[in-house]
Amino acid sequence: MADVDQGSVLPSETSPLILDGLNATDSNGTDAVNATVAKFVATPEGTALAYGSLVFMALLPIFFGALRSVNCGKSKVAGENGCDYEYRNSSDMPETITGRDAARFPIIASCTLFGLYLFFKIFSQEYINLLLSMYFFVLGILALSHTMSPFMNRIFPANIPIKQYQLLFTQGSGETKEEIVNYEFDTKDMICLVISTVVGVWYILKKHWIANNLFGLAFALNGVELLHLNNVSTGCILLGGLFVYDVFWVFGTNVMVTVAKSFEAPIKLVFPQDLFEKGLGANQFAMLGLGDIVIPGNCLMFSLYPAPSSLKKNTRTYFYTSFLAYIFGLGMTIWVMHTFKHAQPALLYLVPACIGFPVVVALLKGELTEMFRYEEVSPEDAAAKEETTEAEKKAK
């Protein structure tokens, strides 16, 4: 996938949906799992709260990431049509996933996953996690700052002057000059960066689950907002490939579960099952991999984009159908995991639901062919095409 930051999205596929009783780190930041300690048994109330919170947190970045992507588009002028910010930097611009990208994605994810597994087996887990923590510290600050921007634009006092800044690093001179970093920001962005840095320092020092979730939600929302599918077939290829990937690495090996337990980075959402007993200091978690949010979320978001005239009146129907399908698939995963007491590959249940539900709706409406012919159209292109069509009608 061209120019996509692998660290912020792709590694999120290295964690399964849920692990019961996952123990957090101790005060020294080392793994506190001890096989000699009796297995934690969560209360029904604690279990229900943890699972319910994970489902709720999973829905937030999907819903708001999809709406932000559709409202803003790729080249919206700030403030128009409900868009509260503009994409000033190339790193903030949406990326389109093609069929070729979708076919390669499971291979890249598998190599990344197995590479991490070997690293944890060969090298000290403590040093690896230290390097990863610093890497995700920087990524998390940028992701959380981008996530906060629309909210900051709404509440920022109008009487405070807004100054523009630019961070520019170049290489060479004259005609050979090449930009290495070109980051534009303003006063509001500075405030977002300061707040995000505070959260980052909190995460680095304490590895607290709330700080982890703030970064995780920001990564997920940015993944849904900034990664687009070019058509429905690409979504099917992507989900189908990751279906095999998820099932193989969870059921076929212990690689994914090992990496998920060892990997101390905000690439998963967690919620404590012992919150009632230990409060905010709880350390027995159920968890949800970000890949199980971002990938289905991209497919859901695609159904919100301006559709051909034959599908336009039903676009939100497909989005709401896919949204319900995601909830159903996630609920099935949790039910099976809770029944059989084993980590489950979420895409085993999410893929059939997220593909099957919209296909059934399309069949009932007689729109299956149109749905698979549906290509991504930006809001600007859709509006221009609609104006052209209206002009042609009037000319006739």
209-226 helix and 187-206 helix, angle to the nearest 10 degrees:
130
Q: Are strands 95-97 and 227-229 parallel, antiparallel or unpaired?
A: parallel
Residue whose token pair is 């009783």? 21
Dihedral over Cα of 330, 334, 340, 344: its sign: positive
CA pair distance 58, 39, nearest whole angstrom = 27
20 is catalytic: no
Contacts of 260 (CB under 8 A, 6+ apart): 14, 15, 16, 19, 268, 287, 289, 343
Enter the DSSP assignment of 251. Answer: I
Which residues are paired to 272 by β-bridges? 285
Contact 289, 267 (CB under 8 A): yes
292 is catalytic: yes
Catalytic residue among 20, 101, 246, 274: 246
Dihedral over Cα of 233, 235, 238, 242: its sign: negative
Based on DSSP, count helices (H) and strands (E) in the chain, helices before strands: 15, 7
Cα 316 to the center of its chain, rounded Å = 21
CA pair distance 235, 98, nearest whole angstrom = 9
Residue whose token pair is 């994810």? 109
CA pair distance 326, 329, nearest whole angstrom = 5
- Known catalytic residues are 246, 292
